[in-house]
Amino acid sequence: MAVNLPYPVAAELLPVAGIELGYAEAGVRKANRKDLLVMKLAPSATVAGVFTTNRFCAAPVQVCKAHLEGLHISASPIRALVVNTGNANAGTGEAGLADANATCAALAELLDCEAAQILPFSTGVILEPLPVERVKGGLPQAIANLKADNWYHAAETIMTTDTQPKAASRTVQINGQTVTLTGISKGAGMIKPNMATMLGFVATDAKVSQRVLEHLVKVAADQSFNCITIDGDTSTNDSFILMATGVAAAEVTDIDTPEFAVLSQAVIGISQELAQKIIRDGEGATKFITVTVEEGTSVEECRKIAYSIGHSPLVKTAFFASDPNLGRILCAIGYAGIDDLDVSKLNLYLDDVLVAKHGGRNPEYREEDGQRVMQQSEITVRVKLGRGSAAATIWTCDLSHDYVSINADYRS
Amino acid sequence: MAVNLPYPVAAELLPVAGIELGYAEAGVRKANRKDLLVMKLAPSATVAGVFTTNRFCAAPVQVCKAHLEGLHISASPIRALVVNTGNANAGTGEAGLADANATCAALAELLDCEAAQILPFSTGVILEPLPVERVKGGLPQAIANLKADNWYHAAETIMTTDTQPKAASRTVQINGQTVTLTGISKGAGMIKPNMATMLGFVATDAKVSQRVLEHLVKVAADQSFNCITIDGDTSTNDSFILMATGVAAAEVTDIDTPEFAVLSQAVIGISQELAQKIIRDGEGATKFITVTVEEGTSVEECRKIAYSIGHSPLVKTAFFASDPNLGRILCAIGYAGIDDLDVSKLNLYLDDVLVAKHGGRNPEYREEDGQRVMQQSEITVRVKLGRGSAAATIWTCDLSHDYVSINADYRS
């Protein structure tokens, strides 16, 4: 089902010195599937993250935020991350917080550190109690198989309705030193991150100060996980974590340096790749759609229009049908909430085809040109607003029968 | 497919003195179907309307607005309305405006009045030129069969993807005089009116001043057509029109009168009935969902949360599946954009079942209770925010396979 998304090849996923990954079948929701992941970090590692803005943010998200805040007042670094699928531990109140803390305490004991040095993550069904004993029970198995080259298994472990594991690797040179980056992501529905995707983890072996890493994680999220939408549902558990193990020789100490420029470009690149993989594996997706809005007065207004197009069920079903019913795109632009939009200055392109000119149908537009583009599996919608120089791009997918099937059947 | 929506019975739709309706098969898009409606008003009639806020508002909407504005500077009343289906005349630029004006001019000539005394409406495909000659060609046929008891045919004529005609009648007593109200509506997709539904027309024989009617149409829209959503797409053509023919003896001259209270209650009632019929016939709908948000600090914040629930594809597919996956509702509340929402004060009910208490799962909630309610064809979601005394209600439907089928196939 996924759109132009090759399976990752385990051998091509590069280990990152200073991080080991272990998995277990803990039976959180279903038996005989990997559902628990531990990522263990070198003591030299720095960690930063961005999280969902959903007011019902899950218990593990609250605990993660508190533990990352704690880095500012404590000298104890984050030593490990623990992720369970099958249960989101969201909408679970005080009991959910206790369960997330208990998970941290159990892993801390096994790794001989403090609970505050653990970051917990959960993804799955909302409003059901976390079976915390099963999570805790799976930890020894996960620790027993900790390995640096377990990235493929890690990507598999965090899948829920994903049809494929999502992972990516790359290297860059910083001051003549090779720096490695490897990341994984998951999420295929409930995706309109307002901070990050359901779950995204990127690790590098570079040495990066806490302050720089906190800046970089926000920059990267805003240009990757914050630019995708499948169904407009901002999840309770969205988390994007950037880890720098500090084991390699390359070091980034400040934002205004060439080293930062190289590293940030690499982090943004791998984050975009991981974010786009989520869209390519969007629930029921058959098309990968890039929506670019140009010539706006602000990035914010461009994003508003891009998301209005990307969320419209009518636009998304037209893409699914390969039907150039492109008036639906104009309609979505029109209700995006830009009150002073002068539609007579607006041009709409589908790939290279000029569909609407000065707000009306381009007299030279021919249905067969639109039809040709709509039949592709990758399509770019380009809107030129003719009122400024700002621009924004988002990535989305179509709305198909399978989206309804997957979400109508998810729990059964 | 429609949810508890009985077919209107032609004999139960009451003629409204002072308005006649005529229809034609003009072949606007397809042959052999009624697609052109003329409503002719007595010279004593007052008319007021509310329209879409979409920036790509259709040419006929622009002409309607101009002609209704003209009432403030001219003594010439609106004499007729003309509606075509099959083509929305939206995204059609200057040519579309010329076509809408040409339609008015043609009907005005046949009725011996000014073009400014005609209100034009279109609904159908966007971004395609209106076949204006066919519309004009159908007018004589429509005028030839003008009759006071054609409401059922009128409701049929304005259908597009609707599976049933939608109409309602009622009478009220004002100062001992019987006042009749009859209305029709259409629209089954692209429905998240920000002013009114795709098309809604309500007529009464009461005598109502222009000023009072303009107030009443807004009040009624805000409590009816502005409280429904199917897919969150605010159309380019939404129009809701209230007509008072002034032929009956009953008169409403001011807002602070008992006469206004009686009339407005009747107008709001019939408008809600017509709006709810649109939801009951929503594209692919299998469930009719009422979402009520109470104990908010403002109506606006209650509406924001209600629409967040009503638009969530995940919530809507759960309703389709009769799956009490109710965490999805909490999730939608959480991302509604109420930054200071304290979820620990929030309770969530499904009909009479308390699902979430103080922001977490109600310990006494049993899955089978949620399951029982989810299997019903009519369900009320009630959210108590615990932070104020404002409330709001919207009506929506589920998201089914048929929604995708209908919108993937609409033009073919």
Substitution target from B53, B87, B233 for chain A, most A beta carbons within 10 A? B233
Domain boundary among B280, B296, B329: B280
pLDDT confidence of residue A224: 85
pLDDT in tens, A196-253: 346 889 999 999 999 999 999 999 988 888 877 766 666 677 788 899 999 998 999 9
Q: Distance between the two ends of chain B, CA-based, in angstroms? A: 20
> CA of B315: which chain A residue's CA is closest?
A407
- Neighbouring C-beta atoms of residue B149, cutoff 10 Å: 15
Res A238: pLDDT: 78
* Alpha carbon distances (Å) from A46 to A73, A75, A131: 14, 11, 30
Q: Give just the sign of the alpha carbon dihedral B80, B123, A331, B270.
A: positive
Domain assignment present for residue A240? The answer is: yes
- What distance in Å separates the CA atoms of residue A126 and residue A90, rounded to the nearest whole number? 5
Q: Is A32 left (phi over 0), alpha (psi -120 to 50) or beta?
A: left
Residue B48, domain member (yes or no): yes
Q: What pLDDT, on the 0 to 100 scale, is given for residue A194?
A: 41
**Among candidates A126, A331, A399 on the partner chain, residue whose Cβ is nearest the Cβ of B328:** A126
Instruction: For chain A, say whether B231 makes contact (Cβ under 8 Å).
Output: yes
3-state secondary structure of B392: strand
A243 and A303 inside one domain: no
A2 domain residue, yes or no:
no
Told to judge if B197 belongs to the known catalytic residues of this protein, a careful annotator would answer yes
Number of domains in chain A: 2
CB pair distance less than 8 Å for A407 and B236: no
**Contacts of residue A408 in chain B, CB cutoff 8 Å?**
317-318, 320-321, 323
pLDDT tens, position by position, B211-245: 999 999 999 988 888 877 766 666 677 788 899 99
Rounded CA gap, A324 and A301, in Å? 25
Our CA angle for B257, B46, B180, nearest 5°, is 65
A325 touches chain B (CB under 8 A): yes
Q: Are A171 and A179 in contact (CB under 8 A)?
A: yes
User: What pLDDT score was predicted for residue B412?
Assistant: 43
Burial (CB count <10 Å: 0-12, 13-18, 19+), residue A330: buried
Domain CATH for A44: 3.60.70.12
B-chain CB neighbours of A233 within 8 Å are 312-314, 328, 331-332, 335
pLDDT at residue A326 in the model = 87
Q: Are residues B203 and B300 in the same domain?
A: no
Q: Stretch A161-187: mean pLDDT, rounded? A: 90
Q: Which residues of B touch A55 (CB under 8 A)?
A: 333-336, 338-339, 341, 343
Does residue A262 sit in the same domain as residue A356?
no
pLDDT at B27: 96
Residues A365, A217 share a domain? no
Q: Read off the pLDDT of each residue in A136-152 and give the average, rounded to a whole number.
A: 97
- The A residues from 337 to 376 touching B (CB cutoff 8 Å) are 338-339, 341, 343-344, 355-356, 358-361
Cβ atoms of B189 and B233 closer than 8 Å: yes
pLDDT over 90 percentage in chain A = 64
pLDDT of residue B189: 54
Do B31 and B86 lie in a common domain? yes
The pLDDT value recorded for residue A192 is: 53
The verdict on B261 touching A (C-beta cutoff 8 Å) is: no
Give the whole-angstrom CA distance, residue A187 versus residue A190.
Answer: 8
Q: What is the distance in angstroms between the Cα of B215 and the nearest Cα belonging to chain A?
A: 23
Closest Cα to residue B296, out of B391, B227, B383? B391
Q: Is B276 exposed, middle or buried (0-12, 13-18, 19+ CB in 10 A)?
A: buried
In the set B157, B197, B229, B290, the catalytic residue is B197
Q: What is the dihedral of CA A397, A402, A404, A409, to 10 degrees?
A: -130
Task: Indicate the residue of A56, A189, A403 with minimum beta-carbon distance to B334.
Answer: A56
Nearest to B133 by CA among B104, B158, B102: B102
Residue B218 lies in a domain: yes
- pLDDT interval class at A195 (50, 70, 90): very low
Q: In which domain, by residue range, is B336 found?
A: 288-409
Burial environment of residue B82 by CB neighbours within 10 A (0 to 12, 13 to 18, 19 or more): buried
* Closest Cα in chain B, distance from residue A42 (Å): 35
Of A91, A328, A332, the CB nearest to B327: A91
Q: Does residue B89 contact residue B163 with C-beta atoms inside 8 Å?
A: no
Instruction: Please judge whether A411 and B325 are an interchain contact, meaning their C-beta atoms are less than 8 angstroms apart.
Output: yes
Please identify among residues 55-114 of chain A the ones whose CB lies closer than 8 Å to any CB of chain B: 55-57, 88, 90-96
Number of C-beta neighbours around residue A295 at 10 A: 17
Q: B324 and B375: one domain?
A: yes
Q: How far is residue B205 from each of residues A364, B14, B18, B246, B282, measured CA to CA in Å?
A: 49, 11, 7, 5, 30
Instruction: Name the token pair of B99.
Output: 């076509």
Site from B316, B355, B404 to mutate, A interface, most A CB atoms within 10 angstroms: B404
Distance from CA of B224 to the nearest CA of A (A): 20
CA distance A153 to B278: 49
Q: Is A223 contained in some domain?
A: yes
Residues of B in contact with A396 (CB under 8 A): none
| Burial call B300-317: b when 16+ CB within 10 Å, e when fewer | ebbbbbbbbbbbbbbbbb
**Distance from the first to the final alpha carbon of chain A:** 21
Do B258 and B397 belong together in one domain?
no
- Token code pair at residue A346: 């607006």
Q: Are residues B322 and B366 in the same domain?
A: yes
Count of alpha carbons within 13 Å of A306, Cβ hemisphere only? 32
Using left for φ > 0, alpha for ψ between -120 and 50, and beta otherwise, residue B27 falls in left
More confident residue, A239 or A65: A65
Higher pLDDT, A139 or B273: A139
C-alpha distances in angstroms, A403 versus A283, B282, B323? 5, 19, 15
Final residue of a structural domain among A246, A280, A314: A280
Query: For residue B5, is it within any domain?
Result: no
pTM over 0.95, yes/no: no
Q: What does the pLDDT read at residue A193?
A: 46
User: Contact, A162 vs A284, CB < 8 A?
Assistant: no
- Can you give the pLDDT of all 412 residues of chain B as single tens digits? 688 888 888 889 999 999 999 999 999 999 999 999 999 999 999 999 988 878 888 899 999 999 999 998 888 999 999 999 999 998 888 999 999 999 999 999 999 999 999 999 999 888 889 999 999 999 999 999 999 999 999 999 999 878 889 999 999 999 899 999 999 988 765 555 443 346 889 999 999 999 999 999 999 988 888 877 766 666 677 788 899 999 998 999 999 999 999 999 999 999 889 888 888 888 788 999 999 999 999 999 999 999 999 988 889 999 999 988 888 899 889 888 898 999 999 999 999 999 999 988 899 999 999 999 999 999 999 999 999 999 999 999 998 888 788 777 655 4
Q: Which residue of B has its CA nearest to A340?
A: B55
Instruction: Please give the pLDDT value at position B240.
Output: 86
Inside any domain, residue A4: no
| Residue/partner pairs of B98-103 with CB below 8 Å, 24 or more apart | B99/B59, B99/B129, B99/B130, B99/B132, B99/B135, B100/B59, B100/B60, B100/B62, B100/B63, B100/B130, B101/B63, B102/B132, B102/B136, B103/B60, B103/B130, B103/B132, B103/B135, B103/B136
Residues 6+ apart with CB under 8 A from A133: none
The secondary structure of A337-375 as a DSSP string is S-TT--GGG-EEEETTEEEEETTEE-TT--HHHHHHHHT
Res B233: pLDDT:
62
On whether both A273 and A295 belong to a single domain, the answer is no
Strands A347-350 and A353-357: antiparallel
Decide which of B280, B299, B319 is a domain's last residue: B280
Q: Considering the domain boundaries, does residue B4 fall inside one? A: no
Asked if B407's CB is within 8 angstroms of A313's CB, the reply is yes
Same domain, B360 and B215: no
Catalytic annotation, pick one of A85, A197, A229, A236: A197
The mean predicted confidence, pLDDT, of chain A is 90
Q: What DSSP designation does A225 have?
A: G
CATH number, domain at A322? Answer: 3.10.20.340
List CB contacts of B372: < 8 A, sequence separation 6 or more. Answer: B353
Grouping H, G, I as helix, E, B as strand and the rest as coil, residue A249 is coil
A198 and A300 both lie in a single domain: no
Total beta-carbon pairs less than 8 A apart between chain A and chain B: 225
- Check residue A233 and give its pLDDT: 62
For B335, which of A234, A311, A323 is closest by C-beta distance?
Answer: A234
Asked whether residue A36 falls in the same domain as residue A71, the answer is yes
